[in-house]
């Protein structure tokens, strides 16, 4: 079930495709159900969406937490890369 302002997160189905996210502008189904009018973040386009099983509706708080976790993960990877490069430079 969705509300206006929630986010639709569609997971990548294969390694050669990317996931998508879009903000739900309108809920047109009964009781928060689809279809949803979605503004896609990657293209700026709007579309009427009937989400499949690879989609998840997240609240603003949930998407913010997901973004925070991803930023932390990226920061840790960058630190590991930097430490690895420093160690390699020190050796040779």
Placement of tokens 């630190």 in the chain? 79
User: 10 is written with which tokens?
Assistant: 């569609």
Write down the pTM of the prediction. Answer: 0.77
Q: What CATH number labels 1-58?
A: 2.30.30.440
Residue of 70, 42, 69, 66 lying closest to 56 (CA atoms):
66
User: Are the beta carbons of 36 and 51 closer than 8 angstroms?
Assistant: yes
Model confidence at 91: pLDDT above 70: yes
User: Are the beta carbons of 35 and 50 closer than 8 angstroms?
Assistant: yes
pLDDT for residue 92: 66
Output phi, psi for 26, to 5 deg. Answer: -145, 145
Domain ranges of the chain: 1-58, 60-92
Residue-wise pLDDT for 39-85, tens only, equals: 999 999 999 999 999 999 999 999 999 989 989 999 999 989 988 88
Q: Which residue has the higher pLDDT, 68 or 87?
A: 68
Q: Could you give the count of Cα atoms lying within 13 Å of 31 in the half-sphere of its Cβ?
A: 0
């Amino acid at each position: 079930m969705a509300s206006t302002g929630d986010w639709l997160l569609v997971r990548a189905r294969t390694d050669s495709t990317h996931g998508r996210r879009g903000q739900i502008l309108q809920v047109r189904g009964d009781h928060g159900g689809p279809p949803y009018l979605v503004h896609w973040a990657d293209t700026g386009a709007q579309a009427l969406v009937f989400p499949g099983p690879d989609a998840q509706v997240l609240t603003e708080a949930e998407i913010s937490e997901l973004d925070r976790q991803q930023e932390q993960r990226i920061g840790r990877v960058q630190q590991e890369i930097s430490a690895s490069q420093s160690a390699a430079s020190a050796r040779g």
